């Protein structure tokens, strides 16, 4: 009978130390940590971009989002070898016969479908996203967000079911009393190879946010020092369809409230206002980041000069005709940070149109997609 044959094959494979409970427990614990880090950092990014009423996001420390999102992507990348090693290590266990002994056991085994399929979905879509490749119909953040909960819920079920085994295996002395030295060595070599592959993959990509490693990161989809004016662009003026409007000599910034224009500022007028210089990161949700020195006028000063009421939130609108990221919101707390500026210059030069000329928002501790470019309007709520 095929079931019994497969079951015997399973038993033979599980004698191999690389398929042991201890390897499953070690890889499982590492994956548990990496999934949790990815989930929490991803959730944070989601909350910052779509804040519910109970959530507010601070402007300090200025580089915090750069760290959390860099960690999100780097941890996700590190997870790939761990995940495949774990799946390979436990694969023989799939062929248990009978498939399950009772209803709870069957439910536990069925929950692996959402855990494994969901985990592979998360790493695959995550990698494709940082590589700017979208071979699917759904909007990446919406799909990645929804499935992250499916994976974490399945993980709670799986981790609880395996808790006793994992605890026992992780607590026992690395070389058990009945374990031959060769088994221990085989297991360690396997885990060493998995760890080395994981580390190599991280080094090959993490330089897109950890600048000193950029020359080692030869598989990074971005380099923090490559792009117009020496740093990357996420969306160019051509892609946004603003090349002509952004360079219109008659450009003026408007400050509005309740459908009424409080004041407009020409670029000359903005240039004559007291300027603020701020060294702040652009931190892309795709995991690259770069710190630059920006010069411009604090949003607070512009609002004050326009006579806008204080303590209100502000919508920052772009010249872009459409798209999900044509505007972003600033809370009163974010506006009051003096480093929240409408920048006109970077690295001492006029902004390139791809970096948001004539005006771009740059503020501390904010995802790149919310650092609105080609700003034309501030709408006070």
Partner 1 sequence: MNERSEQPHDEEHPRPLLFIPALIAGWAIIGFGIRSALSHSDDAHPFALLVHIVTFDLAHDLVIAPLVLVVGWLVAKVVPETARGPVRAACAASALFIVFSYPLVRRWGLRPSNSSALPLEYGRNLAIVIGLVWLVAAAVIVRRVRSNRTT
Please give the residues from 95 up to 134 whose contact with partner 1 meets the rule CB under 8 A.
96, 98, 101-102, 104-105, 107-108, 111, 113-114, 116-118, 120-121, 124, 127-128, 131-133
- Of the pair 104, 310, the CB lying nearest partner 1 is at 104
Provide the token pair at 177. 């009393």
Task: Tell me how far, at minimum, the Cβ of 133 lies from partner 1, in Å.
Answer: 4
Task: Tell me how far, at minimum, the Cβ of 326 lies from partner 1, in Å.
Answer: 16
Which residues inside 172-191 make contact with partner 1, applying CB under 8 A? 186, 189-190
Sign of CA dihedral 94, 95, 100, 106: positive
Query: What length is written for the chain?
Result: 381
Contact code string over 280-319 relative to partner 1, x by CB under 8 A: ----------------------------------------
| Piece of 27-35, 174-182, 221-229, 370-378 that binds partner 1 (CB under 8 A) | 221-229
Contact with partner 1 (CB under 8 A): which of 73, 74, 206, 233? 233
Q: What angle do CA 228, 232, 235 make, to 5 degrees?
A: 95
CA end-to-end distance (rounded Å), the chain: 72
Whole-angstrom Cα distance, residue 299 to residue 303?
6
- Of the pair 4, 173, the CB lying nearest partner 1 is at 4
Which residues inside 330-369 make contact with partner 1, applying CB under 8 A? 354
- Of the pair 217, 372, the CB lying nearest partner 1 is at 217
Radius of gyration of the chain (CA): 26
CB 121 within 8 A of CB 83: no
The answer to whether residue 11 forms part of the interface with partner 1 (CB under 8 A) is: yes
The answer to whether residue 165 forms part of the interface with partner 1 (CB under 8 A) is: yes
Provide the token pair at 114. 């959402």
- Of the pair 222, 300, the CB lying nearest partner 1 is at 222
- Using DSSP bridges, classify how beta strands 375-380 and 327-330 pair: parallel, antiparallel or unpaired: unpaired
Contacts for 220 with CB less than 8 Å, ≥ 6 apart: 204, 205, 206, 207, 208, 214, 288
- Of the pair 236, 331, the CB lying nearest partner 1 is at 236
Which residues inside 195-214 make contact with partner 1, applying CB under 8 A? 196-197, 200-201, 204
CB 60 within 8 A of CB 365: yes
Contact with partner 1 (CB under 8 A): which of 74, 82, 202, 220? 220
Contact with partner 1 (CB under 8 A): which of 57, 65, 231, 265? 231
Contact code string over 31-70 relative to partner 1, x by CB under 8 A: ----------------------------------------
Contacts for 54 with CB less than 8 Å, ≥ 6 apart: none
- Of the pair 71, 120, the CB lying nearest partner 1 is at 120
- Of the pair 118, 281, the CB lying nearest partner 1 is at 118
Task: Tell me how far, at minimum, the Cβ of 270 lies from partner 1, in Å.
Answer: 27
Task: Look at the block and give the residue holding tokens 């990645």.
Answer: 144
- Of the pair 120, 262, the CB lying nearest partner 1 is at 120
Q: Helix (H) and strand (E) counts for the chain? A: 11, 10
| Piece of 66-74, 143-151, 246-254, 269-277 that binds partner 1 (CB under 8 A) | 143-151
Whole-angstrom Cα distance, residue 315 to residue 102?
57
Whole-angstrom Cα distance, residue 305 to residue 316?
17
Whole-angstrom Cα distance, residue 281 to residue 364?
7
CB 336 within 8 A of CB 60: no
- Of the pair 33, 196, the CB lying nearest partner 1 is at 196
From the number of C-beta atoms within 10 Å of its C-beta (0-12, 13-18, 19+), residue 291 rates as middle
Contact with partner 1 (CB under 8 A): which of 58, 199, 239, 277? 239
- Using DSSP bridges, classify how beta strands 375-380 and 252-257 pair: parallel, antiparallel or unpaired: parallel
């Amino acid at each position: 009978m095929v079931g019994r044959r497969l079951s015997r094959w399973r038993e033979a494979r599980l004698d191999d130390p690389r398929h042991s409970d201890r390897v499953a427990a070690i890889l499982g614990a590492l994956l548990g940590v990496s999934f949790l880090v990815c989930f929490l950092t991803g959730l944070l990014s989601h909350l910052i971009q779509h804040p519910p009423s109970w959530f507010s996001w601070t402007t300090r420390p200025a580089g915090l989002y750069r760290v959390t999102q860099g960690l999100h992507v780097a941890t996700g990348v590190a997870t790939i070898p761990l995940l495949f090693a774990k799946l390979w290590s436990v694969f023989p266990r799939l062929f248990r016969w009978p498939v399950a002994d009772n209803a709870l056991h069957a439910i536990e085994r069925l929950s692996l479908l959402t855990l494994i399929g969901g985990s592979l979905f998360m790493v695959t879509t995550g990698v494709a996203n940082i590589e700017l490749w979208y071979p699917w119909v759904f909007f990446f953040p919406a799909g990645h967000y929804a499935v992250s909960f499916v994976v974490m819920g399945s993980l709670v079920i799986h981790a609880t079911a395996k808790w006793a085994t994992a605890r026992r295996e992780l607590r026992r002395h690395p070389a058990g009393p009945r374990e031959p030295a060769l088994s221990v060595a085989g297991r360690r070599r396997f885990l060493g190879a998995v760890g080395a592959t994981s580390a190599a993959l991280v080094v090959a990509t993490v330089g897109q946010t950890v600048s000193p490693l950029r020359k080692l990161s030869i598989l990074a989809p971005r380099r923090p020092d490559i792009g117009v004016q020496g740093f990357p662009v996420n969306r160019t003026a051509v892609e946004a369809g603003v090349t002509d409007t952004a360079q219109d000599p008659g450009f003026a910034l408007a400050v509005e409230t309740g459908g009424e224009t409080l004041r407009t500022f020409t670029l000359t007028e903005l240039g004559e206002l007291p300027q603020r210089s701020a060294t702040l990161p652009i931190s892309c949700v795709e995991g690259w980041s770069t710190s630059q020195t920006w010069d411009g006028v604090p949003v607070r000063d512009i609002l004050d000069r326009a006579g806008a009421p204080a303590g209100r939130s502000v919508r920052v609108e772009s010249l872009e005709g459409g798209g999900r990221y044509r505007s972003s919101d600033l809370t009163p707390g974010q506006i009051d940070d003096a480093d929240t500026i409408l920048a006109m210059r970077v690295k001492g030069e006029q902004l390139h149109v791809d970096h948001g000329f004539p005006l771009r928002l740059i503020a501390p501790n904010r995802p790149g997609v919310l650092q609105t470019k080609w700003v034309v309007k501030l709408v006070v709520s």
